[in-house]
Structure 1
Amino acid sequence: MKKSFIAACLLAGIFFADTLKAQQATWIWYPGDFEIWLANKMQNRRTERGAFFPPFWRLDNHYVLMDFHKVFDLPAAEEVTLYTEGEYNVKLDSKMLPGRPAKVTIPAGRHKLNIKVYSLDKVPAIYVKGKTVVSDSSWKVTYEDKEWIDATGMVSSQSGTQWLSAGYWHFNDPMSPPSQFRLSVEPQGPARTERKGQSMTVDFGKETFGFIKLHGLKGQGAVSIYYGESLEEAQSTTTCETLDHLEISAAAARDSVMPLSKAFRYVHLRYDKGVHIDSVSMLYEYLPVARCGSFRCSDEEINRIWDVSAYTLHLNTREFFIDGIKRDRWIWSGDAYQSFLMNYYLFFDSPSVTRTLMALRGKDPVSSHINTIMDYTFYWFLGIYDYYLYTGNETFIRQFYPRMQSLINFCLQRRNSNGLLEGLPGDWVFIDWADGLSKQGEVSFEQLLFCRSLETMALCANIAEDTQGAAKYRQLAAGLRTKIFDYYWDEDKQALVHSRINGQPTPYVTRYANMFSIFFNYLNEAQKQGVKEHVLLNDSVQQITTPYMRFYELEALCAMGEQDYVRKAIKDYWGGMLRLGATSFWEKYDPKEKGAEHYAMYGRPFGRSLCHAWGASPVYLLGKYYLGVRPTSPGYATYLAEPVLGGLQWMEGDVPTPDGNIHVYCSTQQIRIKADAGRGTLRFKSRSKPVCKGAAIEDKGNGVYEMQVAQGKLYEVSYRL
């Protein structure tokens, strides 16, 4: 593994599963509880024109009483120091120690240390540090120890208790407990400032996020700050989405930082005549994740699109993967799912994925779909599927399998008499923002996502050693897949129709189910070609105007070898936003709109997000389908590298994995590849017989060649595109 890669990722707080160094003490808690607690804090910071604006779905909370334990076998007695978040007691070999000991001596030999912690306002957590005894993910934790003492003083059996491996992140300092976590900040100045009377307009040069800071603030009176992702929004004092008002009464000059961080490029200030402000700056707020993936090519516009996509994703990678930095600043499962995929090709920050998955899932009992949206429940399962494929982390799957079961059981209980899902009271069937898109009846898109979720459950059941469950979910998935094609496939239209109503298929064809069926590999080759011709490349089928679904449409086309078409589409769609002055990518972009129409959404003139996570999809598309790198077994134990230039003259980049990078360079005459880990297969097309010194190249027919890639070795292939 490259030392620079390790250093960068460790600085960013990236810890891959089960890799905490021996003797490294860290704060630990019940897995999922810190994540839920932190999500509550973050999602309830949203405001709209100063009004408190919380999520509209159920918010769960952490367990308030927690028992931690571990059995140690020590060659010599050892003193350990204890830190906790909350009230606590300590037991050594099931005997409670008096008081609240800050230090405990564990004798030589085999001994069990228990620490029970109660905390209502923050997550019960512990930090234990000795010479060899440390708190880490090997400790066991439960919210109900089911322990009692009988009349003889004997301690009961604990066989009925479910113990999980402790959760952790990167809190390795005993004086910096989890409850004190804050995102990092750094000072930044504006690109330009314009004053006019008792007002000031400040441009920070690009979309950004943080706390506005007023310098040299003095006098007496009111100050109003209006934030805008566009200049028009910042100067529209009655309709901008976010603002701050403050009253000052200070004779001496001082600096003042606004209490809540916000998204903006521009800020417009108005203040009374008795008020003076020297200048305005900001504290940029961010999660310090390292950019481990990279991409460069012969097309400078594509390079710019990749850069802005990476910046857009980073802005929306905060405590969790959120939807947009202006609004909603909530954790939406559909948005997060795309962020997971982009993350695997940019940061490969596994903790951000698991934090977000755990926060979205919440706790039992299940009373509604995730975010109340049917499709968003299924995206959560798809996120689990991909997380295992990219990271190989079985521990997470085993621990959260019970919560997967309860969520899929909720879905199974909501099937209709046909064994299909349709919206019930309280269900939001979203799919996409598209004018006139019907959500009525049994929508084929929902059945497709449901089928993939059942396949995910079968995979996870095998990991959790639930053989009966694995067989059940496989059978359910196979039965649903058969129904999908029996009920929705129209041979004349060469497509899956959009829905069934009252048991009858509708004639309407949309792109959604059809493009997902391609990269789910649910279609045979003839059906794929039919869908490509009659749906994906058919302008008479309703066009997609959100980056959200454009992501999947272009992925389907890439999966069918249409990289040249996709490159042009990326330049047209994302390049279109750049040509309008975008410095981050938007929630929605319709080239037919003009001027201020690009800012409006939800019936509000500035309701649209101009920095939305789902706008960053070129990071994923260029890494997976142009550099062509993707895992073929969990955690990149094996992988495929299938570079496709798609009309580019050359390209080069790094794809991060759990154990280092895979570097690919490709031009029309040469391919170079070097991987830090895993066993790879390089697949490419050539019009002449390729040559690579020190490697055997296998002719697969029809101009396709394959070569095996060993870890740590640089390969240079001469070929002819």
Structure 2
Amino acid sequence: MKELILKVLAVALILTTSKLHAQEAPKAKTKSSARNEFVREYKSPVRVVWQSNGAEGTIKNTAQLLKEGNGQADLSSTALCVLESNAIEKPALLIDFGKEIHGGLQIVTGRWQNKKPIKVRVRFGESVSEAISDIGEKGGTNDHAMRDFIIELPWLGSIETGNTGFRFVRIDLLDENATLHLKEVRAISIYRDIPYLGSFKSSDERLNKIWQTGAYTVHLNMQEYLWDGIKRDRLVWVGDMHPEVATINAVFGYNEVVPKSLDLARDITPLPGWMNTISTYSMWWIILQKDWYMHNGDMAYLKQQQSYLQSLLRQMISKIDNNKEKLDGVRFLDWPSSEDKQAIHAGLQAMMVWSLSVGKELSILLKDEQTVKLCETALSELKKYVPTHNNSKQAAALMALSGLMSAESADKEVLSVGGTKNFSTFYGYYMLQAQAKARNYQGALNNIREFWGAMLNLGATTFWEDFNMEWKDNAARIDEIVPSGKKDVHGDYGAYCYVGHRHSLCHGWASGPTAWLTEHVLGIKVTAPGCKEITIKPNLADLEYAEGTFPTPFGKVWVKHTKKPDGSIETKVKAPQEVKIVKK
């Protein structure tokens, strides 16, 4: 009867506060201006991957395109790249900008005889195979961002086009009997010009590169809002934000893109809706509020979330029946686990425990005693029931992190079984976190090297939406034309919403190792709001040394850990005077 009364009260409060919230949504408090952060940087290609010459002389002087340009057409340029077509031969070339970027393309032209615009086809690709593919081929699309289209180029002028995530561009001359003079073809890289305040360097260069690649992946997705991917979906997915924000906290410190995106998710999701229609994504919003508060200590911002938080917590509590979660909306953890109903149920039960525990902590900070008591009662119910993890690494990780099962059992029974088999780029972060909770730091480091390192081996410069270790078998690199007999790791794989070339090769949710290495190898953990206290507890495992920096509102904390001959670790720390350092 007590539980029934609580649920009735909860539903009533949801309806009341959600109406009030819809009428007057608070604005985000910002500390930096996105308008001042964004830059447009022009980049020349680093190589010509391929060109279709057809008859001799169809394409001349491609080396011109690799020279540094200035974006200005002029009358003096003579050594231009020339593409000539006839009724049969229509030349094309494929260029590589060296790494994944977000933005578009600038094409600067020279002079030709008839002065008429010349028609070309432009194709962007995150891989070579995507850049040379057609729409509909191996999942290729123009969804979310145009990557395959036809434009006309002016005589003796310039044009800028495109807005997507890419590394490679193919240009086809489409007009017959035409001569196209190209002075420059440059990428327009659009990003926030912000410093990498955090850093990581260890005795293992592979881990160093993985840390940096994760940081760069998130950096590219810090556009007007915090996106999941720069090619697709280019949306604010709140679940994706959790590992992304962990990386931002470890690398960049405060940035307005985080509260701006959290507030967008709140404002476009009046209760009783779930953020992105997914119940767990609303739970990640709660957890993110605590993480953001711990790093920045902005109580005024946290108070702006109070009315929505109160209602959301009550809505979640109303979805408990007989100690079990009975969540509606889309029931989702990540794509690889999406067909395992038992794993999803176990994961949702764990997420309810985790997010309601965080909700209780936030309610204590906000001096909301009524909500604290509601959370306590709900948690007491939920913890009486422990579902089966069904050997799902996703479910076992969440159960370990929420305390529904011991981390040691989760690691031994599930997470360490088969190494990185059944890992995923999103929930791999929580698998690593659970292994750290079980103190299996060596196993976690091995998994990072193997799983995320395999993407680097295949030519990745950013981490992918999904990856399966079996994909690497007989696979060509993404920066080469797929040889006969090899697998196209981009076009031949993928499932659900990321089939083939639709697969995003720059997805912020895959950046988990960056945050993990900072937290567990450097051993930096924020233990008081606003980084006023940081606990240092390094875990070098097989590393000889690790050093790095960590951004706080007061400046950077620097640490260096060196393994001594007897196996003990020498730690050096430098920190702003406002930050209390606790060594363990």
TM-score (ref. length: structure 2):
0.78
Helix, strand or coil for the counterpart of 2:469? coil
Helix, strand or coil for the counterpart of 1:648? coil
**275 and 465 in structure 1: CA distance in 2 versus 1, 3 angstrom threshold:** farther
Retained in 2: the 8 A contact 1:164–1:399? yes
> Residues 66-215 of structure 1: matches in 2 within 5 Å?
167-171=29-33, 183-193=38-48, 194-196=50-52, 197=58, 198-215=91-108
Match of 1:468 among 358, 364, 370: 370
Query: Is residue 483 from structure 1 mapped to residue 384 from structure 2 by the alignment?
Result: yes
Q: Aligned partner of 2:537: which letter?
A: E
Match of 1:254 among 137, 141, 157: 157
Helix, strand or coil for the counterpart of 1:253? coil
Partners of 1:307 and 1:434 in 2: CA distance: 26
510-519 or 609-618, which deviates more: 510-519
Offset at residue 314 of structure 1 (A): 1.1
Match of 1:513 among 395, 406, 410: 395
Helix, strand or coil for the counterpart of 1:443? helix
Match of 2:290 among 385, 397, 407: 385
Greater C-alpha radius of gyration: 1
Partners of 1:530 and 1:650 in 2: CA distance: 30
Query: Is residue 222 from structure 1 mapped to residue 88 from structure 2 by the alignment?
Result: no
Residue 451 of structure 1 is matched in structure 2 by 353
Per-residue deviation, residues 31-71 of structure 1 (Å, max 9, x unmatched): xxxxxxxxxxxxxxxxxxxxxxxxxxxxxxxx9xxxxxxxx
Match of 1:303 among 185, 208, 212: 208
Match of 2:433 among 555, 560, 568: 555
Offset at residue 440 of structure 1 (A): 6.2
The structure with the largest strand share of the pair is: 1
221-230 or 625-634, which deviates more: 221-230
Match of 1:655 among 527, 550, 561: 550
**627 and 652 in structure 1: CA distance in 2 versus 1, 3 angstrom threshold:** same
**637 and 592 in structure 1: CA distance in 2 versus 1, 3 angstrom threshold:** same
Partners of 2:460 and 2:500 in 1: CA distance: 18
Residue 73 of structure 2 is matched in structure 1 by none
Residue 11 of structure 2 is matched in structure 1 by none
Retained in 2: the 8 A contact 1:544–1:550? no
Residue 468 of structure 2 is matched in structure 1 by 590
Helix, strand or coil for the counterpart of 1:547? coil
Retained in 2: the 8 A contact 1:294–1:655? yes
**592 and 165 in structure 1: CA distance in 2 versus 1, 3 angstrom threshold:** closer
Q: Aligned partner of 2:385: which letter?
A: I
Offset at residue 237 of structure 1 (A): 2.5
Partners of 2:507 and 2:268 in 1: CA distance: 27
Residue 317 of structure 1 is matched in structure 2 by 222
Helix, strand or coil for the counterpart of 2:470? coil
Offset at residue 461 of structure 1 (A): 2.3
Per-residue deviation, residues 155-187 of structure 1 (Å, max 9, x unmatched): xxxxxxx8968744545xxxxxx9x78932111
Q: Aligned partner of 1:188: which letter?
A: K
Q: Aligned partner of 1:327: which letter?
A: R
Partners of 2:541 and 2:575 in 1: CA distance: 23
**351 and 436 in structure 1: CA distance in 2 versus 1, 3 angstrom threshold:** closer
Offset at residue 382 of structure 1 (A): 1.0
Q: Aligned partner of 1:560: which letter?
A: A
Retained in 2: the 8 A contact 1:398–1:460? no
Gaps of at least 5 residues in structure 2 are 1-19, 53-57, 59-90, 476-486, 565-569
Partners of 1:647 and 1:285 in 2: CA distance: 39
Partners of 2:432 and 2:284 in 1: CA distance: 18
Query: Is residue 237 from structure 1 mapped to residue 134 from structure 2 by the alignment?
Result: yes
Residue 63 of structure 2 is matched in structure 1 by none
Q: Aligned partner of 1:187: which letter?
A: Y
Per-residue deviation, residues 558-609 of structure 1 (Å, max 9, x unmatched): 2222222222211111111111111111111212124214443247431211
Residue 481 of structure 2 is matched in structure 1 by none
Residue 332 of structure 1 is matched in structure 2 by 237
The structure with the largest helix share of the pair is: 2
Per-residue deviation, residues 186-226 of structure 1 (Å, max 9, x unmatched): 11111123543431211101111111111116633422111
Residue 81 of structure 1 is matched in structure 2 by none
* Identity level (%): 26
**216 and 364 in structure 1: CA distance in 2 versus 1, 3 angstrom threshold:** closer
Q: Aligned partner of 1:207: which letter?
A: E
**265 and 538 in structure 1: CA distance in 2 versus 1, 3 angstrom threshold:** same
Offset at residue 419 of structure 1 (A): 5.0
Q: Aligned partner of 1:340: which letter?
A: V
Partners of 1:205 and 1:249 in 2: CA distance: 25
Query: Is residue 570 from structure 1 mapped to residue 448 from structure 2 by the alignment?
Result: yes
Retained in 1: the 8 A contact 2:324–2:385? no
Residue 66 of structure 2 is matched in structure 1 by none
**249 and 638 in structure 1: CA distance in 2 versus 1, 3 angstrom threshold:** closer
Partners of 1:471 and 1:422 in 2: CA distance: 21
Query: Is residue 640 from structure 1 mapped to residue 527 from structure 2 by the alignment?
Result: no
Query: Is residue 288 from structure 1 mapped to residue 199 from structure 2 by the alignment?
Result: no
Retained in 2: the 8 A contact 1:423–1:440? no
**264 and 442 in structure 1: CA distance in 2 versus 1, 3 angstrom threshold:** closer
Query: Is residue 538 from structure 1 mapped to residue 420 from structure 2 by the alignment?
Result: no
Offset at residue 347 of structure 1 (A): 0.6
**521 and 394 in structure 1: CA distance in 2 versus 1, 3 angstrom threshold:** farther
> Residues 409-448 of structure 1: matches in 2 within 5 Å?
409-413=314-318, 415=319, 417-418=321-322, 420-422=324-326, 424=328, 427-434=329-336, 437-439=339-341, 443-448=345-350
Q: Aligned partner of 2:169: which letter?
A: V
Partners of 2:346 and 2:28 in 1: CA distance: 40
Q: Aligned partner of 1:210: which letter?
A: G
Q: Aligned partner of 1:313: which letter?
A: V
Partners of 1:234 and 1:562 in 2: CA distance: 41
**215 and 386 in structure 1: CA distance in 2 versus 1, 3 angstrom threshold:** same
Retained in 1: the 8 A contact 2:197–2:253? yes
Offset at residue 341 of structure 1 (A): 0.8
**653 and 185 in structure 1: CA distance in 2 versus 1, 3 angstrom threshold:** same
Residue 580 of structure 2 is matched in structure 1 by 679
Offset at residue 629 of structure 1 (A): 0.6
**182 and 216 in structure 1: CA distance in 2 versus 1, 3 angstrom threshold:** farther
**519 and 658 in structure 1: CA distance in 2 versus 1, 3 angstrom threshold:** farther
Retained in 1: the 8 A contact 2:206–2:449? yes
Partners of 1:467 and 1:229 in 2: CA distance: 51
Offset at residue 249 of structure 1 (A): 7.4
Q: Aligned partner of 2:443: which letter?
A: Y
**166 and 583 in structure 1: CA distance in 2 versus 1, 3 angstrom threshold:** closer
Residue 49 of structure 1 is matched in structure 2 by none
Gaps of at least 5 residues in structure 1 are 1-62, 64-141, 145-161, 172-177, 489-496, 499-507, 684-721
Partners of 2:26 and 2:407 in 1: CA distance: 44
Per-residue deviation, residues 272-308 of structure 1 (Å, max 9, x unmatched): 2436241310211002222110011111111222222
Aligned alpha-carbon RMSD (Å): 2.7
Partners of 1:447 and 1:331 in 2: CA distance: 24
Aligned length, in residue pairs: 490
Helix, strand or coil for the counterpart of 1:653? strand
Offset at residue 320 of structure 1 (A): 2.2
